[in-house]
Amino acid sequence: MEPETHTEPVGDEEPLFSNLDLFLFSLIIGLVVYYFMSRKKPEPIPEFKKIDTPQVSQRETSFIEKMKKTGKNIIVFYGSQTGTAEEFANRLSKDAQRYGMKGMAADPEEYTMGELARMSEIKNSLAIFCMATYGEGDPTDNAQDFYDWLQENDDEDLSGLNYTVFALGNKTYEHYNAMGKYVDKRLEELGAKRIFDLGLGDDDSNLEEDFVSWREQFWPAVCEHFGVEASADELSIRQYELKLHNDVNMNKVFTGEIGRLKSFEVQKPPFDAKNPFLAPVTVNRRLNKAGDRHLMHLELDITGSKLRYESGDHVAVFPTNDSALVNRLGEILGVDLDVVISLNNLDEESNKKHPFPCPTTYRTALTHYLDIMNPPRTNVLYELAQYASEPKDQENMRKMASSSPEGKALYQTWVLDSCRNILAILEDMPSLKPPVDHLCELLPRLQARYYSIASSSKVHPNSIHICAVVVEYSTKTGRVNKGVATNWLKNKLVNGHKSTVPMFIRKSQFRLPFKATNPVIMIGPGTGIAPFMGFIQERGWLKEQGKEVGETVLYFGCRHKNEDYIYQEELEDAEKSGVLTQLNVAFSRDQDHKVYVQHLLKKNKEHVWKLIHTDNAHLYVCGDARNMAKDVQTALYEIAEELEGMTRTQATDYIKKLMTKGRYSQDVWS
């Protein structure tokens, strides 16, 4: 018998399935087969290959983990705007090695500063803070987050932290060493233990001497605290090793870029200190009519950069050294400046792999990256002394690097007072022949130069104006020293070869009052007029918009009306149009007795006092900090005493309150 599934009927028996059943069954089977055959297969989940990139791990922001991993027990944080505090931090971390300890220099911006509470996890640990003060008592850009953290964390327990602070400042400024003093006091408030007194460095006097004197006493105190032998190893310690590149792709060699390779060829925003914008120079003209000085006005085109600025901000430019000086250095050292090299950090765990962008050539390093014009600091002399073949030269160089009174005096007269840069030292000490790679390791980085912007973005949104005086002077050795940045800017030809300027903008607190109806008194002799050109343009623009604008008063000063009365035409036009309600100019040398801006303030004391005391005026001072800014302040004290009957103490407090309220702003330099 056939299996039951056979569909053909046998005799008269009733079939197992009717035709309808078979049809339906076939239809169902067909649909099921169709469903399984035609349905979309699920997309296979791709296996992503793990990209081999550095992980953003805890280690990278954890200085504690890094110290543990590398066996370091001393960390030197720096708050640095011009590179000096960073330089001091590197010297201190190098010192630690000489005393049998291990140190690392660290940028607080790169680490989680809350980890200071974990310092007790490391035996015999110490945190050193080299903190510079910038502007009007402000932290440097890279220490801003650390400053905010200190202010905001009242319940932080830093009882396991041993610390000391060296502060860098300038006595001519109102808020001398404010940042260093604040860090020192605040760490103690949070329970940390100060193991050596706060050091105060004064750049108006001799910052290097202040640092060396502090450091000479600091290390014995550290050794005593930790029970370490207080005898330093006198050997020179190299931080970087030289690598020569004989066969290298020149497309991979840095040619002056600050950050990213080829960033000057392919510009990509955002533009900042690590990625400057190359701004073409569209105007470069001499401002003064006569005299032996060169005052200049430059205009930089920022079209397409997406850079924004406000009146009172600063423009920073990255200059290059004079090629003649670079060539002379190569000649005196007997080296081929076009050799491609890298200086690689011997500490592989260090965040700072090279002292400047590498690979590059000696020529590029000495032109773009290294400061060859400033007198070298004592640590450079100490390290280079070993390369002098004359014993007397070796002795003098080591003496100048010591803290002995005789050594300090020799450094002051032979290096500082004589304005000897590294080239002058090499020329005047023929037995000194250092290897160029060690010299490049020791020289500090060439820093950006800051200028108060002399324009308003309301009037010139795509242009930044600079007003500067070219620096050039004779030294006691008969040499002529030229300011790096101003001479470099002076030679920027409009639409000429290499007529671009690498630049970025630094925001400032130097701002016009929020209410345009507030009167403003601007005091700025010489190139101190720069930000006020922007203020005047902006007040003029506000008037054109139909806004009510308060009194706008300017006190300007120069030597001779017919020589260096800069922006005379623009200022007189602003006065005629009513934008400047009062233009006061002091020509200091056009008469027998000297007349300065402070004398004109005293002469107009009733009007000045009414604007300040009654009309809520904002005062602005820009220019020389050492004399002018102080003399202006004294004149204001005297006006308050004469017209309001205040004592000197009351007058001083009154002016300080104006500063606290933001009604007395200074943009000064020494």
Instruction: Provide the pLDDT for residue 29.
Output: 64
Confidence of residue 661 (pLDDT cuts 50, 70, 90): very high
Q: 390-443, pLDDT tens digit by residue?
A: 999 999 999 999 989 999 999 999 999 999 999 999 999 999 999 999 999 999
Catalytic choice (440, 622, 624, 665):
622
Query: Structure pTM?
Result: 0.88
Q: Is 624 a catalytic residue?
A: no
The string of pLDDT tens digits covering residues 575-593 is 999 999 999 999 999 999 9
**What amino acid is encoded at 325 in this protein?**
L
From-to residues of CATH 1.20.990.10 in the chain: 320-345+352-447
Q: Tell me whether residue 609 is annotated as binding.
A: no
Assigned fold of 520-668: Rossmann fold (3.40.50)
424 is in an annotated binding site: no
* Residues 645, 649, 652: CA angle, nearest 5 degrees: 95
Q: Which helix (H) or strand (E) holds 196?
A: none
Q: What is the percent of the chain with per-residue pLDDT over 70, rounded to a whole number? A: 90
**Residue 223 counted as an annotated binding residue:** no
Q: Does the annotation place 486 within a ligand binding site?
A: yes
Q: What is the SS3 assignment for 178? A: helix
Q: Tell me: the pLDDT tens digits for 169-212?
A: 999 888 999 999 999 999 999 999 999 999 999 999 899 999 99
76 labeled part of a ligand binding site: no
Write down the pLDDT at residue 42. 44
Dump pLDDT digits (tens) for 320-347.
999 999 999 999 999 999 999 999 999 8
Is 558 annotated as catalytic?
Answer: no
Average pLDDT over the chain reads 91
Q: Where in the sequence of the chain do the CATH 3.40.50.80 domains occur?
A: 520-668
Give, in degrees to the nearest 5, the angle at Cα 575 between 574 and 579: 60
Is it the case that residue 34 has pLDDT exceeding 90? no
- Does 471 belong to an annotated binding site? no
Q: Kindly name the residue from 125, 311, 452, 455 that is annotated as catalytic.
A: 452
Whether residue 267 is annotated as binding a ligand: the answer is no
**What local confidence, expressed as pLDDT, does residue 47 receive?**
42
For residues 435 and 426, is the Cβ–Cβ distance under 8 A?
A: no
Residue 645 assigned to a binding site: no
- Across 116-135, average pLDDT: 96
Catalytic site residue 669? Answer: yes
Give the C-alpha separation, 13 to 328, whole Å: 121
Q: What is the 3-state secondary structure (H, E, C) of 237-279?
A: CCCEEEEECCCCCHHHCCCCCCCCCCCCCCCCCCCECCECEEE
CATH code given to domain 320-345+352-447: 1.20.990.10
pLDDT of 250-274, one tens digit each? 999 999 999 999 999 999 999 999 9
C-alpha separations of 661 from 618, 619, 655, 657, 664 in Å: 10, 11, 10, 6, 8
Q: Is 409 annotated as a binding residue?
A: no
- For the domain made up of 63-226, the CATH class stated in words is alpha beta
Q: pLDDT at position 348, please? A: 86
pLDDT for 3: 38
Q: Considering only residues 391 and 351, tell me which one the structure prediction assigns the higher pLDDT.
A: 391
**What top-level class would CATH report for the domain 266-318+448-508?**
mainly beta
pLDDT tier for residue 236 given thresholds of 50, 70 and 90: confident
Q: What's the chain's length in residues?
A: 670
Report the range of poorest mean pLDDT among 3-7, 536-540, 639-643. 3-7
Tell whether 597 is in a known binding site.
yes
Residues 6+ apart with CB under 8 A from 352: 105, 345
Q: Where, residue-wise, is CATH 2.40.30.10 in the chain?
A: 266-318+448-508
Catalytic residue among 62, 141, 223, 669: 669
Q: Give residue 40's pLDDT band: very low, low, confident or very high (50, 70, 90).
A: very low
**pLDDT for the residue 2:** 35
